[in-house]
Amino acid sequence: DNQRLAGLAEQFALVGESLGKLYPEGETLAKSLLQSAAHAVHAGGQVSAEHAMEVATSLLYIDASLEDQDLDHPELAGRVQRLAQRVGGVRQGHSPGALEVWMEDLYRRVSDRQTMGSVVQELRASLSEIEKHIDQFFRNPAQREVLIPVPAQLSSMRGVLS
């Protein structure tokens, strides 16, 4: 779609501006991404799958590093430069190669944190449900049947925690 292509350079310029402010060597990556956007516009959106994937991988890495909140990492400048090199290399027709180990490590950390967040959210929901049953029982101790699901719910929570 030509309208989307027309706005692509502007969107990447905004991303690049943020990269320059947030990351050491962010200008280098911003320049590489802007060149990729210009290449895509010039090619009418017809870029190689490898090029598109490398740009997406770089943006995902940036997103993950922001979520990881480790912008003071001593190797961050080198990593950002490496992302720029990878994007530039693929744009020039070179093979992207395997993901860098540090990229995989970051993705794994972020994924683990998201998984743990989901588990905690599920445990909170279960605990809230258990509290509701116990509260109903204490409001009317004659209704013992409201406590029937509680042991199974607690057992389920125990299984998650072990």
Per residue in 10-31, pLDDT (tens digit) is 898 999 999 999 988 899 999 9
Give the residue extent of every domain in the chain.
Answer: 2-97, 111-161
**Rounded CA separation 70/78 (Å):** 14
- The token pair that represents 141 in the structure block: 């101790």
**Rounded CA separation 119/111 (Å):** 12
Helix (H, G, I), strand (E, B) or coil at 23: coil
- The token pair that represents 123 in the structure block: 């445990």
Q: pLDDT of 82-126, one tens digit each?
A: 999 999 999 998 988 888 899 899 889 889 989 999 999 999 999
**pLDDT at site 1:** 63
**Rounded CA separation 119/132 (Å):** 20
**pLDDT at site 126:** 94
**Rounded CA separation 50/97 (Å):** 10
**pLDDT at site 89:** 93
pLDDT at residue 3 tops 80: no
- The token pair that represents 112 in the structure block: 């683990």
**Rounded CA separation 61/110 (Å):** 10
**pLDDT at site 46:** 84
pTM: 0.71
Token pair 């699901």 in the structure block, residue: 149
Token pair 């490398």 in the structure block, residue: 54
